[in-house]
Amino acid sequence: MSDTDHEIDGIDQALALVSRTQPQPQPQPSPHPAVPAPAAEAPGPTDPEPAPEPLEEASAEPAAEAHPTSTPWPDARAAAALAGRTAPARPRRVPLEQALAQILAEPLEALTDLPSFDTSAMDGWAVAGPGPWSFHDGPGILAGRTAPDPLGDGEAVRIATGARIPAEATAVIRREHAHADETKQRLYAQREVIPGQDIRPRGQECRVGDHLLPAGSVVTPAVLGLAAAAGYDTLLTVPRPTVEVLVLGDELLTSGAPRDGMVRDALGPMLAPWLRALGAEVLDTRCLGDDPQALRKAVLGSEADVVVTTGGTAAGPVDHVHPFLDSVDAELLVDGVDVRPGHPMLLARLAPDAHLVGLPGNPLAAVSGLLTLAEPLLRALAHRPAPEPYRAPVRDDVPGHPVSTRLVPVTHRTDASGADHAVPLHYNGPAMLRGIAAADGLAVVPPGGACAGDVLEILDLPWAEGCFT
């Protein structure tokens, strides 16, 4: 084996399971009935670093029973979606240039016929009756001009694409399909002329009042074009929900490398673009430390539809989220979820139109909370339809938690037979981001784990859909 065969870059480390074969038996039985993880290969003599650890063991989670207040993972997502659907809707009418990526709050109906008059589909000649035809010198009929004079039988006139068809015209002959004798001012067709050819008749695309798009449609660039063509200057839309991110923790640095017991804040830089990719308008990201009064002032003073906090959701001495929610009589809709990582996530209703999503402080656990609670809440607040569940077979065995769902980073790969599989990735502990950075989805692993070939639900990540271009 050459030296280059031993060289493994950062992504390959996270993708190390891609090259694994069958899982090896564990030397000691696990106290929980989990699927064993594949054994790690021994490092080569020139490896720059040891081979990656296997998938996080299911037994690493000490609890064998669900927390009494925890919500099953599917129910937590459903509760978050219900909270969004039952919040008061606040549609607003906005100019077209401000409506992109918002949701139509009413059906889009045509305000005019499209096209609104008979138009030429090509540059060429408008003709009336059979040829040959006589014509006069001049620029002809151009787009954007008033109604032209009618044509008499046997007459022709030059016409541009998009120009109004003169009354009594029977066809348009493309410029390259006709010969004009400029001396005799006679026009000859070089192929058969079919009545109505290359004429776009009025109302070909739609008539006034036609239903073009239903309420709930996403306003894409194409929708903006259709709305403008159909006569709209403004659209009634459901605005993107607004979010404010509050990063909690005295141990966090906002620049430089970790030092003196401090760690770098990974969530502040990550959450805002992720939330935007989920359809939110992020108003601000602030680092508050572990200050209960600062937390109270920030949440009560926020104008966002959703406040997202990171850390402080457990029951430690500096975990201030629960005490704050109790002090303001917030309604806890979800208080812990049977999912790993990310169990101590929460969702609270502060007011009929204001919610708080509490994410755990560990980075991958926060991602779990983002996709479990924030994504369905924001989608429902924006009146976006729920995507169809996507499922795929996993290529390898995946360890499971005894009683909780696991969310495991995966990447999609095609094997030699052309079959697509989701390949579980290393570095999937609650404090790790290396696996999710190389992933394009999260596999939803049921309690007890999954075997190679099992078909699991896959949560697609925004960058797998091109949302960061």
Q: Using one digit for the tens of pLDDT, what is the confidence trace for 150-195? A: 999 999 999 999 999 999 999 999 999 999 998 899 999 999 999 9
Residue 26 pLDDT grade (very low, low, confident, very high; cuts 50, 70, 90): very low
Could you tell me the fold of the domain covering 119-200?
A: Molybdopterin biosynthesis moeA protein; domain 3 (2.170.190)
**What pLDDT sits at residue 128?**
92
Q: Comparing 71-89+240-381 with 119-200, is the CATH topology the same?
A: no
As a whole-number percent, the residues of the chain with pLDDT over 90 amount to: 61
Inform me whether the pLDDT recorded for 430 exceeds 80.
yes
- pLDDT tens sequence across 241-288: 999 999 988 777 777 888 888 888 888 889 999 999 998 999 999 988
- 280-314 per-position pLDDT tens digit: 999 999 988 888 999 999 999 999 999 999 988 88
Tell me the per-residue pLDDT of 402-411, one tens digit each, with 9 for 90 and over.
999 999 999 9
For all residues of the chain together, what is the average pLDDT? 84
Position 19 pLDDT exceeds 90: no
Confidence of residue 415 (pLDDT cuts 50, 70, 90): confident
Per-residue model confidence (pLDDT) at position 83: 97
Q: Which residues of 401-418 are buried (b: 16+ CB within 10 A; e: fewer)?
A: bbbbbbbbbbbbeeeeee
| pLDDT above 90 for 238 | yes
**pLDDT value, residue 11:** 43
Level-2 CATH architecture, domain 71-89+240-381: 3-Layer(aba) Sandwich (3.40)
- Strand residue runs (E) in 234-280: 234-238, 242-247, 252-253, 263-264
CB atoms within 10 A of CB 62: 5
- Looking at residue 228, what is its pLDDT? 95
Global pTM reads 0.73
User: How confident is the model over 7-27, as a mean pLDDT?
Assistant: 41
Instruction: Please indicate whether residue 354 or residue 386 has the higher confidence score (pLDDT).
Output: 354
The CA distance from 82 to 169, in Å, is 59
Mean pLDDT of 9-34: 41
Q: How confident is the model at residue 68 (pLDDT cuts 50, 70, 90)?
A: low
Confidence (pLDDT) at 65:
52
Q: Alpha carbon of 115 to those of 194, 207, 285: distances in Å? A: 21, 9, 47
Helix (H) or strand (E) holding 281: strand 281-287
Q: What are the residue boundaries of the structural domains of the chain, listed by start?
A: 71-89+240-381, 93-104+210-238, 119-200
pLDDT at 66: 52
Q: How many distinct helices (H) and strands (E) make up the chain?
A: 10, 28
306-333 average pLDDT score: 91
**Tens digits of per-residue pLDDT, 224-235?**
999 999 999 999
The beta-strand segments (E) located in 290-371 are: 306-310, 331-335, 337-340, 346-351, 354-359
The mean-pLDDT minimum among 222-236, 311-325, 393-407 falls in 311-325
Per-residue pLDDT, 433: 86
pLDDT over threshold 60, residue 414: yes
* Backbone phi and psi for residue 141, each to the nearest 5 degrees, phi listed first: -100, 125
> Looking at 133-137, 329-333, 403-407, which range is the least confident one?
133-137
CA dihedral 10, 16, 18, 20 (to 10 degrees): 160
Looking at this protein, which amino acid is placed at residue 129? Answer: G
SS3 content of the chain, % helix, strand, coil (to 5): 20, 25, 50
Q: Would you tell me how many other CB atoms lie within 10 Å of the CB of residue 78?
A: 14
